[in-house]
Structure 1
Amino acid sequence: MKRPDVLLSGKNVTKVFGYGKNKKTAVHDVSFDFHEGEIVSIVGESGSGKTTLAKMLLGLLSETSGEILYKGQPRSLKSHADRKKYWKDIQAIFQDPFSSFNVFYKVERLLRDCIKLQGLKLSEEKQLEMMKDACSFVNLKFEELHNKYPFELSGGQMQRLMIARIFMLHPKILIADEPTSMIDACSRSTILDMLLKLREANNMTIIFITHDVGLAYYVSDTIYIMEKGQFVESGPADEVILNPQHPYTKQLISDVPKIHEEWNLAI
């Protein structure tokens, strides 16, 4: 069976902040291939460089050296038009949903902007239908939310609203940066289920940025372990978690008892 095409790739990507004595290398010489429809997790503790890498993938930060390719071609992100075109295909969900929306825009405006980003010219009736469908997908009622501001919603509602935006935009790639870390266990399961349904419906590539090795193991096809700005181990999820080779990977697994038990049984 032919493996899906590589959608997003990196060659020797490095990000350095500052100069001279204040210079800090946040990401150092990482290479990767993310395939169409694949679920990838980039796992590491706070300060490992994973969020900096996510921002580079999104085009919010430029790489100091190396190259990130989209569909096999160098990205062109110099102009606003270039970035807008790129962001049609690559979107993100962040850890803090309240920092992800303009607090001065009501929910209806936030959803209408998704239609505008795609350059769609639709009737008022069709726009309303799209917004209602998106809310329904995440178990929200548009009629109850459309006239509210983000700060009037709960954290769980905001996370769902971010997924509703993804539902409307149909991106090729979704970067999910700790998307469930600020919500309760029940909501966490629901959010993950919604993301996986989106992946199935749209053959979307999902890149989880997480410190949660348990989450990575249970949802991912491929895992990259990141320590001090470098990938120290990568491969199929079962291989990385059940037969880890690097001491840092073993340390991460040892902090998750259930996975640690499965790992011991496997070996």
Structure 2
Amino acid sequence: MKPLNRMEPITPSQRSEVLISGKRITKVFGYGKQRTAALDEVDFAFREGEIVSIVGESGSGKTTLAKIMMGLLKESSGEIQYRGIPRQLGNHRQRKQYWKDIQAIFQDPFSSFNQFYRVEKLLLDCLKLQGLQLSRDMQFERMKEACTFVNLKFEELYNKYPFELSGGQMQRLMIARIFLLQPKLLIADEPTSMVDACSRSTILDMLLKLRDENRMTIVFITHDVGLAYYVSDTLYIMEKGRVVESGPAERVILEPAHPYTRQLIEDVPKIHEEWNLG
């Protein structure tokens, strides 16, 4: 496999402590004969400023793991630590504090916003979540700044509802929210799978710029091995609810140890072969 033109990864000296980690995370759905283990004793550790990709086919458990990291699903067993302390999500105050630091963007931007709220309220809620006491003029300046960062004009979005925007505008609006929230951890679940190649590159550039400016940890959830190799410092390969291989992206892709990893990599060139026919 020909190496891609990958982004320059951060060096170990640029990383600090482990931001979030999980030990033997298991998630079981159903009971008795209907019992299914979506996650089976998964371990992970993501450092501040690191870009990680969790790679696997549909049903591998990667999205379930993302929802557990977000606190949207509760693990059946195991322990998640945030900044070295067991995570506490028992009440609304604890969850609100956690979600100030940990945010997500998803594959379908239209499912990420309340379609009955105008764009300015969606952005204003981000400022309120941070607990910032800003004048109305300052609020508008911050919202304009966020829209400018993602190449949108706030004046053109003002007073509009999400359903009045294009898919590309909605994807950018999701990133504008992240710009305002400035989380410590961003979980990006297939964020570019519904856009064209040009928009995909733009979205990735925006996310990587946020990482560089805010030392934000980004976790990509993806089935795209090429994308994962291109953007990531570290890869986790998942199959049937288990992490079968993990390590530096360069090593995992160029020297895969597990048969499933090798199969994922072997499937990538076949696409290029088809394009080169004739």
Q: Say if 2:170 is the partner of 1:154.
A: no
Change (3 A) 1:74 1:259: farther
Aligned pairs for 1:78-227 (under 5 A) are: 78-227=90-239
**SS of the counterpart of 1:85?**
helix
Give the % identical residues. Answer: 76
Shift of 1:127: 0.1
Q: 2:75 aligns with which of 41, 63, 83?
A: 63
Aligned residues of 1:253 and 1:259 also touching (Cα < 8 A): no
Q: Which residue of 2 aligns with 1:235?
A: 247
Q: Which residue of 1 aligns with 2:16?
A: 4
Inter-partner Cα distance in structure 1 for 2:93 and 2:173: 26
Q: Which amino acid aligns with 2:229?
A: Y
The two structures have a TM-score, normalised by structure 1, of 0.96
CA RMSD across the alignment: 1.4
Shift of 1:57: 0.1
Inter-partner Cα distance in structure 1 for 2:85 and 2:271: 38
Change (3 A) 1:36 1:258: farther
Unaligned runs of 5+ in 2: 1-11, 274-278
Inter-partner Cα distance in structure 2 for 1:226 and 1:57: 16
Q: Which residue of 2 aligns with 1:75?
A: 87
Q: Which residue of 2 aligns with 1:256?
A: 268
> For each residue in 1:3-61, what CA deviation from the matched residue of structure 2 results, as whole angstroms up to 9, or x when unmatched?
52100000000000111011110011010110000000000000100000000000000
Q: Which residue of 2 aligns with 1:25?
A: 37
Aligned residues of 1:43 and 1:210 also touching (Cα < 8 A): yes
Q: Which amino acid aligns with 1:251?
A: Q
Inter-partner Cα distance in structure 2 for 1:39 and 1:23: 33
Inter-partner Cα distance in structure 1 for 2:271 and 2:183: 32
Aligned residues of 1:13 and 1:67 also touching (Cα < 8 A): yes
Inter-partner Cα distance in structure 1 for 2:73 and 2:158: 33
Inter-partner Cα distance in structure 2 for 1:70 and 1:229: 22
**SS of the counterpart of 2:78?**
strand
> For each residue in 1:220-262, what CA deviation from the matched residue of structure 2 results, as whole angstroms up to 9, or x when unmatched?
000000000000000000000000010100110011118999x
Unaligned runs of 5+ in 1: 262-267
The two structures have a TM-score, normalised by structure 2, of 0.92
**SS of the counterpart of 2:37?**
strand
Aligned pairs for 1:45-60 (under 5 A) are: 45-60=57-72
